[in-house]
Amino acid sequence: MPRKKVNSRGYHERKVNTREIRQRFLIVCEGEKTEPNYFRNFRVPKNVAEINVQGRGENPSKLVESAKQLNKQDDYNQVWCVFDRDSWTKEDFNNAMINAEAQGFQVAYSNEAFELWYVLHFQFLNTGIPRSDYNKKLTDLLGRPYKKNSDTIYDELLEKQFIAIKNAENLLKQYVPHIPSQDNPSTTVHLLVQELNKFIQ
């Protein structure tokens, strides 16, 4: 049995590393640009965690299947599926939620659109609005035209992120029982954001 190292004061030293296991994230997004651009901007050091972000342009059920195949090709600690309720059928959305859970995947969904997460940085929104209205609302809130596939939106909203997390948590509390396909507006994007934030140094 190897002897423990003893320091100059006679105490046994034990190496403590809070991040002994390097995390590998697979984030599979419904959108091809909007969501991937946002999550790729998290400044997580590569020696702490690796983040593979995929923009698939697929419906929720197909997206979960894609995540399943990608996970088979590599070894990830966490797999997240990011998709909207949007114009997809309730059956498709619910099946995706069930199948993701069965695979041990996490889901960061938005009902109705991912842009709800952006709006929550500015205000608590508990009234459902059409997807098309999010662009106008964000244009007003940002004070400039909202660009859907922006590569700078993460940095622009970062200082307000804690507000969005609190608003998202409070929004979910409004729904009892919680039925994701019907709870409009609602989102769990903050759960993925909080998980990534654990690895930002």
Residues of the chain with pLDDT under 70: 1-20
pTM for this model (two decimals): 0.88
Q: What is the CATH number of the domain that holds 62?
A: 3.40.50
Provide CB contacts within 8 A for 160, sequence distance 6+: 121, 122
Total domains, the chain:
1
The answer to whether position 70 is within a domain reads yes
pLDDT digits (tens, 9 = 90+) for 93-105: 999 999 999 999 9
CA distance 63 to 59: 6
Q: Note whether residue 17 is domain-resident.
A: no
Domain annotation covers residue 11: no
Tokens 């190496």 map to which residue?
15
In a domain, 116, yes or no: yes
String of DSSP letters for 14-83: ----TT-S-EEEEEEESSSSHHHHHHTT----TTTEEEEEEE----HHHHHHHHHHHHHHS--SEEEEEE
Domain, as residue range, for 130 = 23-197
Are 54 and 28 contacting, i.e. CB atoms less than 8 angstroms apart? yes
Q: How far apart are CA 154 and CA 134, in angstroms?
A: 17
Task: Let me know: does 79 contact 67? Beta carbons within 8 Å.
Answer: yes
Length of the chain equals: 201
- What does the block give as tokens for 147? 């660009």
